[in-house]
Amino acid sequence: MQHTQLGRTGLSVSRLCLGTMNFGPETTAVDSHAILDKSLELGIDFLDTANVYGAKRGEGVTERILGDWFAAGPAKRDRVVIATKVFGTMGDGANDRGCSAFHIRAACEESLKRLRTDRIDLYQMHHIDRSTPWDELWQAMDQLVTQGKVLYVGSSNFAGWHIATACQTAARRGSLGLVSEQSKYSLACRTVELEVLPACRHYGVGVIPWSPLDGGLLGGVLGSDAGKRRSSDHMKKRIEALRPQLTRWEALCTKLGERPADVALAWLLRNPAVTAPIIGPRTMEQLTQGLRALELTLDTETVAEIDRIWPGPGNVAPEAYAW
């Protein structure tokens, strides 16, 4: 397993991040623990979750599955970097959501209990909270860091403007500020190249792409087996809308002799702004297949062809908007 530093920090994490969103809703606790064991065996020591994961509002099902795994083998906790999130609705109260100091404190305590740990290595704001002043937010996060309950703070689904403002405010307060940004980023969704990626590079914020296969779209959907697995009406419509691109994409991957999912991940990994794409396996097979991407090197000609199939925004901002 390859490792890299998380943004500008000294923290080392695996180049693939294990996403746990399927733990609970799609994958049983027993199978989830087996995937976690295998991940650790393979050297994947970066785990991502959220307090809202688990498909049961306010219960933190996925965090509890992770907490039970830690409790069954306490030594495992110090071998992994655990990232979770705050923002989503966790109850019926007026302050049971968002990033107010009130909610951040309560949500952190609850996540610590469910995860059965004394600290959260990376505490991520799941979404921008437009109603909470930055000074209030950083005061709350700084207090958790001072108490040792949180080590690093990250963001998710932030715009470039949000990242810049968050980092500038933190710097003014003498805080470390954001060290990571978790954005939707894949060949089929390259909007973040305009402003989010440039902002992250400027401030030393590591990018953690979620949905790197765009919900499975880039994983080889034109084959009969794949088509059966992805039978939702939404996915069918997307496949039909993008069929010309998908046909060229899968033909290129066949020419390379590689699985489309591996090529899509390898394309992300070659970007120096990217720390670790999140892979969210439902099964053991899906976990082990993803490792091939780490071995792939895409040559210039292949990358150029990929850009023709899945063109990005054309440039970074503001050059993309002007000349």
> Domain range for residue 286?
3-216+260-299
Residue 225 domain flag = no
Residue 68 domain flag = yes
Residue 314 domain flag = no
Residue 320 domain flag = no
**Phi and psi, residue 37, nearest 5°:** -60, -45
Whole-number pLDDT of residue 321:
87
Sign of CA dihedral 157, 143, 70, 75: positive
d(CA 108, CA 101): 11
DSSP conformation letters of 206-238: EEEEESTTTTTGGGT-SSHHHHHH---HHHHHH
Residue 118 domain flag = yes
> What's the pLDDT tens digit per position in 65-80?
999 999 999 899 999 9
pTM over 0.85: yes
Residue 226 domain flag = no
Cβ-in-10-Å burial (0-12, 13-18, 19+) of 266 comes to buried
Q: What mean pLDDT is predicted for residues 117-146?
A: 97
> What's the pLDDT tens digit per position in 135-155?
999 999 999 999 999 999 999
The whole-angstrom distance between residue 207's C-alpha and the CA centroid of its chain comes to 8
CATH number at residue 187: 3.20.20.100
Q: Which amino acid is at 108?
A: C
Catalytic residue among 53, 123, 152, 203: 53
Q: Which amino acid is at 199?
A: A
Q: Which of 24-28, 107-111, 224-228 has the lowest mean pLDDT?
A: 224-228
In the three-class reduction of DSSP (H, G, I as helix; E, B as strand; rest coil), residue 194 is classed as: coil
Annotated catalytic residue 53 = yes
Structure tokens at 160: 């470039």
Q: Which residues of 53-81 are buried (b: 16+ CB within 10 A; e: fewer)?
A: bbeeeebbbbbbbbbebbeeeeebbeebb
Q: How confident is the model at residue 211 (pLDDT cuts 50, 70, 90)?
A: very high
Residue 169 domain flag = yes
Residue 240 domain flag = no
Whole-number pLDDT of residue 229:
55
Structure tokens at 194: 């305009």
Whole-number pLDDT of residue 230:
53
Whole-number pLDDT of residue 232:
80
3-state secondary structure labels for all residues of 150-167: EEEEEEECCCHHHHHHHH
**Total number of domains constituting the chain:** 1
**pLDDT exceeds cutoff 90 at 283:** no
> What's the pLDDT tens digit per position in 188-207?
999 999 999 999 999 999 99
Nearest to 19 by CA among 37, 56, 46: 46
Q: How confident is the model at residue 225 (pLDDT cuts 50, 70, 90)?
A: low
Tell the residue number behind the tokens 């109260």, with chain if given.
Answer: 93
**pLDDT exceeds cutoff 70 at 84:** yes
Whole-number pLDDT of residue 21:
96
